[in-house]
Structure 1
């Protein structure tokens, strides 16, 4: 399953010193992924994906967004630097769900 969307980067700060930058997949796309996955998931309900933002492509996982109805996708620092992105910026994101 391949999807493309535009999303704002946002910051989640853990109780530790860590902070993570994410984008949220659209709610309707997340619902379709959940339906197609049919309960298939890895740790923390994750699904493996291949992601492209700009010229950067990498493999990672999407995760259920807790109180959000959408899956969330971590955007690692190396990608943010390579693509000149920061929290609050909009990014064009292509996601291929590998586990489906």
Structure 2
């Protein structure tokens, strides 16, 4: 059984050498993923998900971010370009965590 989540969140850029962009999952979504799937996470605590933003679909992982106290979703450059996203823009996100 898979868990599906839909939400709107702001795209943000990580402070660091690389230009990584993320969306922070809402607290209630993160809490549920933690409860249901943390036991299956890899060494970094990553949980595999299928993502849809606009017409873009891909498979990646969400990662726990202790500083933000939530999971974060990386949004790769080809998706940002295809969907016209940049830091500070709100994005509608659909994710599916496969059981």
Whole-Å Cα distance in 2 between the matches of residues 36 and 43 of structure 1? Answer: 17
Residue equivalent to 1:7: 9
Residue equivalent to 1:20: 20
1:66 aligns with 2:72: no
Displacement, 1:90? 0.3
Whole-Å Cα distance in 1 between the matches of residues 91 and 38 of structure 2? Answer: 29
Displacement, 1:5? 0.1
For residues 39-95 of structure 1, the C-alpha deviation after alignment (integer angstroms, 9 at most, x for no partner) is 220131000000000000000000001212210000000000000110000000000
Show the 5 A alignment for 1:1-100.
Answer: 1-14=3-16, 17-98=17-98, 100=99
Q: Give the aligned CA root-mean-square deviation in angstroms.
A: 1.0
Q: TM-score, normalised by structure 1?
A: 0.92
Q: TM-score, normalised by structure 2?
A: 0.93
Displacement, 1:26? 0.3
Whole-Å Cα distance in 2 between the matches of residues 2 and 39 of structure 1? Answer: 18
**Which consecutive aligned stretches of 4+ in structure 1 deviate over 4 angstroms post-superposition?**
none
